Structure 1
Amino acid sequence: MLDIRWIRENPEALDRALLSRGEAAQSAALIALDDRRRKITSDLQLLQEQRNAASKEVGKAKAAGDEARAAALMAEVALLKERLPADEAALREAETAIGDALARVPNVPLAEVPVGRDESDNVELRKVGTKPSFGFVPRQHFELGEALGLMDFDIAAKITGTRFVVLRGALARLERALAQFMLDLHTGEHGYTEVNPPLMVRDETMFGTAQLPKFADDQFRTMDGRWLIPTAEVPLTNLVREQILDEAVLPLRMAAFTQCFRLEAGAAGRDTRGMLRQHQFGKVELVSVTTPETSQAEQERLVGCAEEVLKRLGLHYRVVVLCTGDMGFGAARTYDIEVWLPGQDTYREISSCSVCGDFQARRMSARYRSAESKSPRYVHTLNGSGVAVGRALIAVMENYQNEDGSVTVPEALRPYMGGVERIAAA
C-alpha cells in the first residue's frame, strides 16, 4: 500500500507510474478522498473542542451561581454530543473509503524498470548454459510422462477435475527429490531458515501481501472463510506482521516448500495440456525481510540463489527484467528466470523474484527499529521462487530425455533418488 502523504506530495509521479503499468491516473481521486477525510477529522476535532470548552464553562457558571448560564451551556453541550455520533460515523466511512481505494493501487516501479505494455517488452539480462542438442525430435513432458506410465491426467480429472495430475513411482520421487534438493541448497548454503507454514490463512494475511482485495477471484476459499495459499510468500511474509523488529535481526531469510493453490481464473485456454499451469502445484519459496538500504542488493542475491538451482541441475535458462506493464501488483521490480524447454522449443518462467519496498510492510504494519532513528521504519520485503518444483520437473524431463523415452536423472538429484540414474518404462 502506498503512503497517502507521498501521493499528495508526488501526484504526477504516481500518475506516471500508473500509466506505465497500463492503469488510469488516480492521484486526483485519491487526494479528493483524503481531503474529505481531513475535513471531517478537522470538523470533528473542532466539535469536540467546543464540547469540552462548553463543559468547562458549565462548572464555572455553577461556581459563580449563574444557574441560567449553566443551564444554557448544558443544553449546548447536549446538542454538541448529539452531533458527535454522526460525525464519527462519517469519519469512519471516509477512512474506509480512502483505505479501500489505496488498497487497489499497485506499487510504484523503480526508476530503472523498463517501461512497456506486456511480456514482449521485457528486457533480457543474460543467458546461462547451453541448449541441449538432440538427434531426434524432443517430446513435451506430458508425452514423456504418459508414455512412461507415471503421469496421469485422466485419473486426476476423474477424481478432482482438470488442471490436476497424478504422479506415480519414479516421477513422484523425482518431484520430491527436487524439492528436497532445493531446500537443502537454500538452507545449507544460502543461509535461509526453513519454515513449514500453514496452507490456509485469514483475510488480513492475504491483504498483507496484496492478494486481497483485487485478486480474490484467483484464489480458493474454504467453507469457513479462510484462503488456500497461492504461494508460501503469503504466510512467510506475514510472519513479521504487526511487529517492530530489531535491526540487528535483519535480513530475515526464510524458505518453505509448500503446495500452492490458484484458480487460474484469468488463464482460460492457456497451457491446458500438461503440468505448466495447475490449480495445485509445489513450490520452494524464498522470502527476505530487509532494511530499505539493502533491499535492492538483496534482490540480486535472491535471484542468484534461484539461479544456482538451475546451474546445478545443468539447465539452460535466461534472466529477464519485467517491464512496467508485466509486473505483479505489489512489485517494485521483478526479475524472471525462464528455463529452456526443448519439447516446447521455448523459454518458460520457473522463478519470479520481486522486491516490494515497503508496499507490503505498510499493509502488514511490519516495522523495525534502528539505532539511528527515533521512530520505527517500515521494513522492505522480497519474495521469489527458489524454484517452482513442478516446472523444474518439467524442465528436467524435457532436457534430460532420451530417444527411447527414458529420462536421465541429473547427478545433483541422484543422492535423493537412491542412486537411480535413469527413469524408464517398466
Structure 2
Amino acid sequence: MPPDAGRVAEQVARQSYGKLIAFLAARSRDVPAAEDALSEALASALRVWPERGVPDNPEAWLLVAARRNLMQAARHRTVAAKAQMTISLAFEEAEERMNEAGTAVFPDERLKLLFACTHPAIDSSVHTALMLQTVLGIEAKTIARAFVVSPEAMSQRLVRAKVKIRDAGIPFAIPPRPALPQRLAAVLSAIYAAYGLGWDGLDGEKEHHSLAGEAIWLGRALLAVLPDEPEAIGLLSLMLHCESRRSARRDSDGRYVPLDEQDTAAWNVIMMAEADALLRKAGGFERFGPLQCQAAIQSVHAARRLSGKTDWQALATLYAALVMMKPTLGARVSQAAVIGRASSAAAGLERLDQLDARAVASYQPYWAVRAFLLAEAGDDTAADAYIAAIGLSDSPAVRDFLTGRLKKARQATQG
C-alpha cells in the first residue's frame, strides 16, 4: 500500500484544481456540477490509490473520473439531448487524452473560466472571489477573511454566481475586442488579488508560494493571448518585481525584513530584468494605467541594488499618479509612508489624518505606517499605534518585527 497516495492526491488537487475545473466547466457549462464531479473524483482517488497504487498520470485519472461523474449526474437530471451530447463528446475526448502515450495533456482553459467569472451578468463585487475559488481552488473561508466578510455570506455569494453562469448560459471564451477593456480590468484585478494572497501569506510558505506562481502563470497566459494590452504587461511586470524579492523577505533566522532593509544581493536580478523589460514595452503603448504605475514603483525600489539608496522623491511622484488613477485605501496609506520618507514624518502623518477614520480602524498597514511615522517624529503615542498594528497582523513574523519596533519606540521615549 503506497503510504503517500493520499499526499499525492492532495498535491494533484492543489496544483491542478483550476485547470481541471476549467476543462470540465467549459464543456458542461456548469461550474457547480464540475466542482461536485471533481470532488467525487478526489474522494475516489483517496479510496482507490492506496490500494491499487498511484496512476502514472494522476491528473488524467482525476479528469476521466470527474467526467464520468458528470455524465452520471447529467443522466440523473435528464438534461437536454444537446447538453448530453456535449458531455459525452467531452468524456470521449478525456478518455482519448488519458490513453495517449503517458502524457494525457489537456488544454488549460483557465483564461476562459476567468472571463466567465468576470462576465457583466455577474455582480462585480464577487468577480475576484469567484475567480479565486473556481480557477485557483481557494477555500471560501480564506476568501472571506481576505474580503472581511463571514464565510457563510461569501459561500452564498459564490454559489449564486456559479448558478448564474450556468443558468444565463455565460460563454467560456475570451470576449470580442469591443467588450475587452471593461472585462479585462476585472480579470487583471482578480489575478493580482490571487498573487496578493500568495504574497501576504508567506507564513504558509509552500502553499502560498504555489498560489503566487499560479497567478504569475495566469498573467503570462493572458499576455500570450493579449500581447498588446499594456495593463496586462504591467501586471506581469509588477508580479515579477515582487516575486524577485521573495527570498529576501526573511533573514537567515526566519525573521521578517522590510523592503528598504532587505539585502539586495538576495534579489533575483534575472526576474527583475524581465520585469523592467516588460515595463518598457508597456510604456511604448502610451496608455499608462494603475498596474503599470505600481510596476514602476517596484522598479524604483529595485534600482536600490545599483544605486545603494531608494529614490523617495521618485516614489512620491509615482504614488501621486497612482492615487489620481486609483485612490484605494492601500495606495493612499503607502503614499503617506513615502511622503514621510521623502519629505517629513509630519507630512506623512498629515496625509494619514486625511483618511476616513472608520475605513482605517481595522486596516493593519495604516497602523504600521502610523506607528513608524510617529516614532520618527518622536511622538510617544507611537507605542499605541504599534500595539494596534500588532493586534491586526495575521503573520507571526510580522508581529515579532513590529514588537521589536515597539520596544525601540518605548526606549526612545523613556530615554
- The structure where helix makes up a greater share of residues is 2
- Pick the TM interval, shorter chain: under 0.3
TM-score, structure 1 normalization: 0.24
Query: Whose radius of gyration is greater, 1 or 2?
Result: 1
TM-score, structure 2 normalization: 0.24
